[in-house]
Structure 1
Amino acid sequence: MRYFYYVHTGHRIGLDRFHRAVAIVNGLQKEIDITLLCSDFRIAAKAKEYGIKRSVGIDLVRNIPQIAQNGDKIIFDSAEINPVLLEDMTQFFSSFIRVSDDPSDTKHPKESLISPYLSGEGICNAFVVDERYFEAKPKTIPLALFFGDDDYEKDLETHQGLFAPFSMELLMGFYYFLGYEEKLKESFSAIYESESYDKVIQESETLVSASVQAVLENLAGGGKPVFLQRPDYSEDFLPLMESLSIPIVRNYSSEQLSHGIKQAALNDYRRIDKSNNKVIEFIRKTFDLEKLKPF
């Protein structure tokens, strides 16, 4: 029997799910030999740089059974699920844990869930932020923008005038087009390549971002994030942002952005707890790892 973690990433959906997969897999691989399955070959090739021991790129979610075997165990982190696929997966794997972002989701009788919204039997109510982001770093960047790891339609270029008056520093995304920064440099006081992700997330006093994971990571380290709700992104995380008192900017509104940045300086944020151990323990019990010998 083998263990897998499937994560959906790509040039149209970014890397939010990958960042939490890193946190979970790094916690589990101390105990079990687990393989990260990535829907994008590019991030699968770079996974070792994040501490992942074993990663494999696959074209389609339906290709998972070509790598796994009946009776294996998997954590499934993707919105690609549908009733037929869910039924097939819960039949194929002896343990099936799904990571859900949907406030209106329901639990299949044969699956377990990790969700920031749901609770009950077989559900771990939590969101995952890698523990390294809880380390408070000096805030050397007053105001930064991380639009997200993906911008296939070049929406940032279209709306860069919205951000220009604020003298923001910009963190480029992992999937941005080559040379894209040349079209953006006049609107930002500094531009960082995607390799500076941790630096910008941890050292920004105020981070404006459409990446839910980046917002949570900045908040964990004592930052004052502002959530940018991109029209092309799901609104599933709005209730979570509201519960954490994080200012929200919608529809590329200049007025809302200005208000959100001012509000961030005065806001009484709800600080988040470290929940990784809670998630790892939930997975251990679901996978029945207590019976295993030390890996």
Structure 2
Amino acid sequence: MRYFYYVHTGHRIGLDRFHRAVAIVTELQKEIDITLLCSDFRIAAEAKEFGIKRSVGVDLVRNIPQIAHHGDKIIFDSAEINPTLLEDMTQFFSTFIRISDDVSDTKHDKEFLISPYLEGEGICKAVIVNERYYEALPKTIPLSLFYGDDDYEKDLEANQSLFAPLHMDLLMGFYHFLGYDNALKESFKTIYDSESYDEVIRKSDILVSGSPQAVLQNLISGGKPIYLQRVDYTNDFIPLFESLSIPIITELSQEQLMQTINKAISNSYHTFEKSNTKVIEFIRKTFNL
């Protein structure tokens, strides 16, 4: 019997779920041999740089049983789920833990659930962010933008005139195109490559980001995040961010950008309970470790 963590990630959806996976897997691998299954081969190859001991790329979610065996245990971090797949997965794995961000989700009677919204038997209500972001750093970057790890349609280039007057720093994404910074350099004060992710997220006083995980990371680092709701991203995090008093931009316009940044300066943010230990204990109990 083996342990797996499947995470849906890639150049069309970014690394939000992967960052969450890192927070969980790096803790679990201290006591069990667990394999991270990534839907993107590039990040599977890079996973060691994030502290992951064992990772494998998986083309399709339906290919998981080609790697795992019947009776193994898995944590499933993906929105790819549907009733048929959920039924198949809960029958194939002896223990199936799913992570959901959907406020309207419901729990299958044969699964366990981790959610920022739901409560009940077999459910762990929690928000997961890597431990290192709880260590605040001096806010040496007044205003920065992290659009997300992916920008397949080159939205940043198309809308850079909106950001130019704000004199923001820009953090490039993991999946951004080679040389993409050359097309953006006139519109941002400083451009950081993706390897500076941790530094920029933790040192930004005000961070505008389309990445839900980056918003949470900046918040617990003592920053003042603003969530930019991208049209190509799910809006599952809106209720959570509203409960935390995180300003939300729903329309990419210069007027809304300016108004929301001004609001963030004096905004009274709420914080959420640190629950990583709670999540790990829930997984340990569920896996009978």
- TM-score class, shorter-chain normalisation, is over 0.9
SS of residue in 2 equivalent to 1:124 = strand
**Within-5 A mapping of 1:9-20:** 9-20=9-20
Cα deviation, 1:51-72, whole Å, max 9, x if unaligned, reads 1110001111011000000000
- Residue correspondence of structure 1 range 1-295 to structure 2 within 5 A: 1-289=1-289
Q: Distance in 2 between matches of 1:110 and 1:161?
A: 51
| 2:107 partner SS | coil
Q: Tell me, what secondary structure is at the counterpart of 1:164?
A: helix
For residue 56 of structure 1, what is the amino acid of its counterpart? V
Could you tell me which runs of 5 or more consecutive residues in structure 2 were left unpaired when the two chains were aligned. none
In the TM superposition, residue 273 of structure 1 has moved relative to its aligned partner by 2.4
How far off is 1:16 after superposition? 0.2
Gaps of 5+ in 1: 290-295
C-alpha distance in structure 2 between counterparts of 1:251 and 1:260, whole Å: 11
Determine helix, strand or coil for the equivalent of 2:198.
helix
Work out the CA distance in 2 between the residues paired with 1:51 and 1:143: 29
Distance in 2 separating the partners of 1:274 and 1:192: 29
Percent of paired sites with the same residue: 75
Q: Which amino acid aligns with 1:165?
A: P
Letter in 2 for 1:220: I
- The separation in 2 between residues aligned to 1:34 and 1:57, in whole angstroms, is 14
Q: Secondary structure at the match of 1:255?
A: helix
Cα distance in 2 for residues equivalent to 1:31 and 1:259: 48
Q: CA deviation at 1:242?
A: 0.4
Contact kept in structure 2, 1:219 and 1:272, CA below 8 Å: no
Q: Which runs of 4+ in 1 moved over 6 A?
A: none
- For normalisation by structure 1, the TM-score amounts to 0.97
Q: Secondary structure at the match of 1:264?
A: helix
The CA deviation string for residues 176-195 of structure 1, in whole angstroms up to 9 with x for no partner, is: 11111111111100000000
User: 1:292 aligns to what?
Assistant: none
1:142 maps to a residue whose letter is P
Counterpart Cα distance in 2 of 1:240 and 1:273? 13
The Cα of 1:253 is off from its aligned counterpart by: 2.3
Question: What code does the residue aligned with 1:7 have?
Answer: V
Distance between the aligned counterparts of 1:108 and 1:75, measured in 2?
14
Aligned counterparts of 2:253 and 2:286: Cα–Cα separation in 1: 44
2: CA distance, partners of 1:177 / 1:80: 26
Shift of 1:251: 1.9
| SS in structure 2 at match of 1:185 | coil
Per-residue CA deviations over 1:104-132 (Å, capped at 9, x if unaligned) read: 10000000000001111111101100010
Matched residues, number? 289
